[in-house]
A and B are shown apart, each in its own frame.
Chain A
């Protein structure tokens, strides 16, 4: 079955960077994209962007543009999301999700809590 397994929780200081991984299995990685969605504590869902598993093309949300880089390693069917210059506003659970059809998200990772605190 389709699975997305994310890396573990991170605690970072303000100004630092974090890189979250999302290892996929159960489907052909290059046939789908991977999106990243975050959720601040007690808040709603925020789409950060997505990357094509086929050619690595990306589309980032304006709010994180310039601070985020999404990459893939097709040899291991893994997607990565790096966020730089962290502030307390970046404290959230970060999810990866398989992009299916017209930008629907049909399978999700378990989430990675990133805490930004001095």
Chain B
């Protein structure tokens, strides 16, 4: 199975800050990576797919980059509604696997 490792596990930031979350795959997955946002008590929401493609309706302050084993999710200017937990997911091979999550908290 491909292991997905996210860092940091949590980050404290203020509104307007630039936040970067990283995700590392245990083996190369080309660009087969997605990012999801999850708020407490809610289902995950797809933000980014194919490493850098923005899902429809997602604000442009979210961006993704990377290929192979190293990927990043960047929020260019953190907004109040962005405080949530973020997960990466590899779609290169079965079983599909997720990272452990990064909680973005209010500083």
Q: Which residues of A contact B (CB under 8 A)?
A: 35, 37, 44-47, 59, 61-63, 95, 97, 101-106, 108-111
Contacts and interface: CB of A to CB of B under 8 A. Distances in A.
B43 A44 contact: no
Interface stretch (B15-23, B59-67, B69-77, B94-102): B94-102
Interface in B44-67: 44-46, 49-50, 55
B87 A44 contact: yes
A45 B94 contact: no
Given A105-B46, A109-B43, A44 B96 contact: no
Given A102-B32, A102-B91, A103-B96, A45 B49 contact: no
With a 10 A CB-CB cut-off, give which of A103, A108, A109 has the most chain B CB atoms: A103
B97 A102 contact: no
A79 B88 CA distance: 25
Contact of B101 (A44, A61, A63, A108): A44
Contacts, number: 55
Contacts of A102: 32, 49-50, 91
Given A61-B95, A104-B34, A111-B43, 18 more contacts: A37-B44, A44-B99, A45-B36, A45-B44, A45-B87, A45-B89, A45-B98, A47-B96, A47-B97, A47-B98, A62-B95, A101-B50, A102-B32, A104-B49, A105-B36, A105-B46, A106-B55, A109-B43
Given A44-B101, A102-B50, A103-B91, A110 B96 contact: no
Contacts of B55: 106
Contacts of B100: 44
A110 to B, nearest CB: 6
